[in-house]
């Protein structure tokens, strides 16, 4: 087991836990994450969510130029959805995976910096991966060519992302406004590197994707439910929290739908004609 130690108090706090067992469209998934981020109060509050995708979906970082990174015609021809995230980062293909999001205004737990909160979440995810029998570790800084270029997210692990045997196993991105932040990330269950190469405009001879799926790392197929069970156990143990299930009520779903139509199902947002300012 990991030697990572927590610095959290013995009093057990409570987080809201959202488990979406039914997959949803990319635009809905992004709208839910946006809603959770916007609904954070000034008081310490945290949401943890796990979800899947109804169809293969290419997601762009907030500031990415779609014309430089994605073969839109290929995606449209082969039924691959396209969304633009509220977070930064690089191109990600979401398909056979578990996706997590963690939204919080609890600076007591996560501190007030992006780097610290990112590292803490990675350490908690490592605890969950260890429960699967893996030996993950935090990555060092990637090459400058990756940071400045248009390589897909899983080409290299970024600093403090998680790798197994030198290959990225979880890709994450974060947005922070004051004490509030959202971090979400992709945890592939099965490899999709061929499809990722097909949708990316990266030159094929430069397209090495240094990623590994859970099934590859473990040498067997794994399920969505089992993966979420291990990760939630590791996260709750690391942060010493109780996860209380939350369901969206009718009013909340209406607000999520409005966010979806305004942004994530809006071609102007997706294709970058104009990007409305986020809260």
Catalytic residues: 153
| 190 neighbors 96 (Cβ within 8 angstroms) | yes
Give the gyration radius of the chain's Cα atoms: 18
Q: Which two tokens stand for residue 7?
A: 């610095």
Instruction: Report DSSP letters for 61-76, one per residue.
Output: -TT--HHHHB-HHHHH
Name 24's bridge partners.
53
Helices assigned H by DSSP within the chain: 26-38, 66-69, 72-77, 107-110, 114-131, 144-148, 193-199, 214-218, 224-239, 250-259, 267-271
Residue 219 falls in which region: left (phi positive, over 0), alpha (psi -120 to 50) or beta: left
Contacts of 198 (CB under 8 A, 6+ apart): 71, 74
Nearest to 64 by CA among 37, 83, 36: 83
How far apart are alpha carbons 126 and 270 in whole angstroms? 32
152 and 91 Cβ atoms separated by less than 8 Å: yes
- Rounded Cα gap, residues 189 and 206, in angstroms: 24
- Strands, sheet with 46-51, edge to edge from the N-terminal-most edge strand: 137-138, 162-164, 167-177, 180-188, 97-104, 46-51, 13-19, 241-245
- Residue tagged 């633009």 (tokens): 84
Choose among 185, 161, 170: nearest CA to 50. 185
């Amino acid at each position: 087991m990991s030697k990572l130690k927590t610095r959290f108090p013995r009093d057990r706090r409570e987080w809201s836990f959202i488990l979406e067992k039914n997959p949803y469209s990319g635009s809905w998934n992004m709208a839910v994450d946006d809603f959770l981020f916007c609904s954070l109060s000034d008081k310490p509050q945290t949401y943890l969510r796990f979800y899947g995708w109804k169809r293969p979906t290419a997601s762009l970082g907030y500031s990415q130029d779609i014309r430089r990174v994605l073969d839109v015609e290929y995606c449209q021809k082969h039924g691959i959805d396209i969304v633009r995230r509220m977070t930064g980062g690089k191109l990600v293909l979401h398909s056979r995976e578990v996706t997590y999001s963690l939204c919080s205004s609890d600076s007591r737990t996560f501190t007030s910096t992006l780097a610290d909160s990112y590292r803490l979440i990675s350490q908690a995810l490592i605890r969950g991966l260890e429960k699967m029998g893996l030996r993950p570790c935090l990555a060092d800084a990637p090459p400058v060519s990756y940071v400045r270029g248009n390589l897909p997210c899983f080409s290299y692990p970024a600093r403090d992302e998680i790798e197994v045997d030198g290959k990225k196993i979880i890709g994450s991105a974060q947005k922070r406004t004051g004490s509030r932040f959202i971090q979400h990330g992709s945890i592939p269950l099965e490899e999709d590197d061929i499809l990722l190469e097909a949708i990316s405009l990266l030159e094929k001879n430069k397209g090495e994707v240094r990623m590994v799926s859970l099934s590859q790392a473990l040498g067997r197929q794994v399920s969505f439910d089992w993966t979420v069970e291990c990760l939630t156990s590791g996260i709750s143990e690391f942060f010493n929290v109780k996860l209380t299930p939350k369901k969206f009520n009718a009013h909340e779903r209406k607000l999520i739908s409005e966010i979806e139509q305004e942004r994530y199902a809006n071609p102007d947002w997706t294709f970058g004609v104009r990007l409305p300012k986020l809260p």
